[in-house]
Amino acid sequence: MILYLKKQSKMRLNKISTKNILTLRYDITTEKPIRKLATIQDFKKSFNDKGGYNTEKLLNASFKKIKKFDKFSISLSGGIDSSLCLALLRKNFPKAKIIAVSGVFEGAFDESKYAKKLAEKFDADFIPIKMESIYTKMPEIVYISKKPKWNTYNHLIAKQAKKFSKILVTGDGGDELFGGYIFRYKKFLDLVKPNDNWKTKTIKYLECHNRDWVPDQKSLFDKNIKFSWNKIYNYFKPYFNNKLSPLNQVMLADFNGKLLHDFIPTGDAISSHYKIDRFSPFLDSEVQQFGFSLSTKSKYNRTTNQGKIILREINTRLKVKSMKEKYGFSPSLIFDWQKFGKDIFMAYAFEKDSNIYTKKIINRDWVIRALELIENDGNVRYLNRITSILALEIWYRVFIKKDLNPKKSL
């Protein structure tokens, strides 16, 4: 974890975790995932599920495991995963009350109009909610995960869902198991060469995650954080030093990385905070194992650059129309930065006496250069790092200095 308990809950910074979270967005060294890691053997089988009938059968079976509920909330975007979840939820619970919650960020693509149509089709009440600025609510966002992370803004979905039911249905895991990250697959397959070794593949894989780090990443840290790209690369050696196909290597890395160490812990932290059960059919153990074993052709078509082939086939059979492009509940970071973030950063994380500088964690000269790149070029990669640095300062003030109330709006 990014923090340790010491002498009756006194917290301190974990330097390795700090380095990893600010480079990968998650840490795999000090926090054991709740779920079992995927292995090379999981991906060695390769079979097709034409029409997705077996996949659908397993997904239906997963819903039967949650029969104790008569009211359901569902996180609904216009995408393939959540639309399929809604269709199967209604199929398995024809008389249940379902409340579909959809988030809308100011200045970002609005999926709620697609989600509303899906809710109407499956007789679900529809509630769009305005997602607050990630910057003004940074103390609360950081407090929920207890880490210097800012991707817990989806807590607003759970907060709203809790008002209507004791369970929130999500599409978590659909992307990782059934081939949703087409932008990553295409880029990686274009970059990778047949004779690349594991380290070269890792470098190319991280290039497909380049919003999580910057070219001068080493300069971001001050002298109390010892940064080495080779240490980062070694985390990924098990995923790329094997005989799996390049695409399966990416899927193995995605599952064991962001899903198990970022998305699931974040979702669990949110659910725990609001005391609401969280359920995704894609994370059912049998569905998960089946998903590992599907051929890559059942997940991703490189010629058309289309993913989730099996899930699309199920949706077509169930007459579910989802959006063609993947968006999800995501803020427009540039818009939010210009409206709120810049002033908040300058007030809390720019001054020389900010904790991140006095503790020699972050290089303030790098921050000054990064702010110039954001101001002059609208550089989103540097804005992501700046936002993470603000989250680190806020975390320090909430948990270590304890001079910032997590309920405070900035």
pLDDT tens digit sequence for 5-37: 344 356 789 999 999 999 999 998 877 788 889
User: Do 394 and 149 contact (CB within 8 A), yes or no?
Assistant: no
Q: Tell me the three state secondary structure of residue 100.
A: strand
- The reported pLDDT for the residue numbered 326 is 58
Helices (H), 69-150: 80-92, 112-121, 138-145
- Report CA 64 to chain centroid distance, whole Å: 27
Query: What per-residue string of b and e applies to 236-261 under the rule 16 or more CB within 10 Å gives b?
Result: bebbbeeebebbbbbbbbbbbbbbbb
* Tokens coding 116: 């509303």
Return all residues near 189 (Cβ < 8 A) that are at least 6 apart.
Answer: 246, 247, 302
Burial of residue 306 (CB within 10 Å: 0-12, 13-18, 19+) is middle
Closest CA to 31 of 7, 66, 4: 4
Return all residues near 284 (Cβ < 8 A) that are at least 6 apart.
Answer: 58, 59, 61, 62, 65
Q: Tell me the three state secondary structure of residue 7.
A: coil
pLDDT tens digit sequence for 183-240: 999 999 999 999 999 999 999 999 999 999 999 999 999 999 999 999 999 999 999 9
Domain boundaries, the chain: 43-178+256-317
Q: Which CATH superfamily is domain 43-178+256-317 in?
A: HUPs (3.40.50.620)
Measured from the Cβ of residue 375, the count of other Cβ atoms closer than 10 Å reads 12
Helices (H), 246-379: 246-254, 264-274, 285-293, 309-317, 333-336, 342-348, 355-358, 364-377
* Sign of the four-CA dihedral 89, 94, 96, 101: positive
- The reported pLDDT for the residue numbered 328 is 56
**Backbone dihedral angles phi then psi of residue 307, each to the nearest 5 degrees:** -110, 180
Measured from the Cβ of residue 56, the count of other Cβ atoms closer than 10 Å reads 22
User: Rounded to two decimals, what is the model's pTM?
Assistant: 0.93
The two beta strands, 97-105 and 3-6, are unpaired
- Residues 26, 19: Cα–Cα separation, whole Å: 9
User: Do 168 and 241 contact (CB within 8 A), yes or no?
Assistant: no
- The reported pLDDT for the residue numbered 324 is 62
User: Which residues does the chain have with pLDDT short of 70?
Assistant: 1-10, 323-330
